[in-house]
Amino acid sequence: MQAPFKVLLLGVAALAASPAFTAEPPAKAEAGAQRQLLQPPKMAVASPITDRFAVRGLFYMPDIATVVRYDNSAGVDGTLVSGEDTLGLQHRIRQVSVDMMFRIGERHRIRADFYKMARSGDRVINQQIRFGDDVYVVNDRVLTTMDMRKLGLTYTYSVFRSEKWELGAGLALHLLQLEGTLDAPARFVRESLNTAGPFATLSANAIWRVTRRFSLNLAGDYLGGSVGDVKGGYQSWHGDVQFRVRPNLALGLGYTQTRFRIVSTDPGFDDYFNLKYKGPEAFVRVSF
């Protein structure tokens, strides 16, 4: 009887030492249960809200309207003329430009852009034009150039930000340069205009990620008032729809409208200037 009893004791000891009879299996089971609860971190959906840096290449086709008056050095009013109808400047042009955006932290957003508009006209005028200190008479062939350059730096703070919505407000600083010439080569008459200066605007932007691939984006700038002898205003708004082809690549269609208005009695730049351009755009956006 001792041999069978010893065999039974050895069998009980072996079962007791096995994983099924120790405290280890419940711990392992609990650890396994914990690992199932530890899900991988949720991946953010790539969108203009989550992008840290972005570059856009744009094709823009604006319709342009220009009204200008340039008074002479004695303060005599110049002639109010349409750059397109009177001087033959192009009323529609095709342009390519680039802008960029980057974020600092989660809510600080900075955008930099540069815009250049260069046009020329060749027209035999049917009215007398006073421009600066020169007078252009009927039947003069007048060659005109008008160039505008604008460099902008915009900062906005996201007052509201979620996975699908973002609303920001802030300030923008713009540097504007205007150059223009009127030349009547047959009479050796030529007048030039050149001015530049900075101005600041209030800015706002809004983003709505409609789906995982589509987003609606709006932005605007505004300035109105007077400083010394200069009164003016600036309004610009932009809207676009973007389609996310890849996490780092989007295609978009948009519309932009911008208006400058300057009325100055400053002896160094006495004039009236009103420029408005608006039109559709298409772009490619690369982001990270």
Query: Could you read off the pLDDT of 217-238 as tens digits, one per residue?
Result: 999 999 998 877 788 899 999 9
Question: Helical H runs in 211-254?
Answer: none
pLDDT at 130: 95
Q: Can you give the residue ranges of every domain in the chain?
A: 2-37, 53-287
- For the entire predicted model, the pTM comes to 0.81
Stretch among 26-30, 93-97, 105-109, 139-143 having the lowest mean pLDDT: 26-30
Q: What angle do CA 132, 134, 135 make, to 5 degrees?
A: 115
> Is the pLDDT confidence value at 8 over 60?
no
The superfamily CATH assigns to domain 53-287 is OMPT-like (2.40.128.90)
What is the chain's alpha carbon radius of gyration, rounded to the nearest angstrom?
34
pLDDT tens profile 113-123 = 999 999 999 99
pLDDT at 20: 41
Dihedral, CA of residue 50, residue 55, residue 59 and residue 60, to nearest 10: 70
Q: Greatest CA separation found in the chain?
A: 138
> Is the pLDDT confidence value at 12 over 90?
no
DSSP 92: B
Of residues 85, 180, 177, the one with CA closest to residue 126: 85
Confirm if 176 and 199 have CB atoms less than 8 A apart.
yes
pLDDT at 225: 86
- Banded model confidence at residue 38, pLDDT cuts 50, 70, 90: low
Backbone angles phi, psi at 19, to 5 degrees: -60, -30
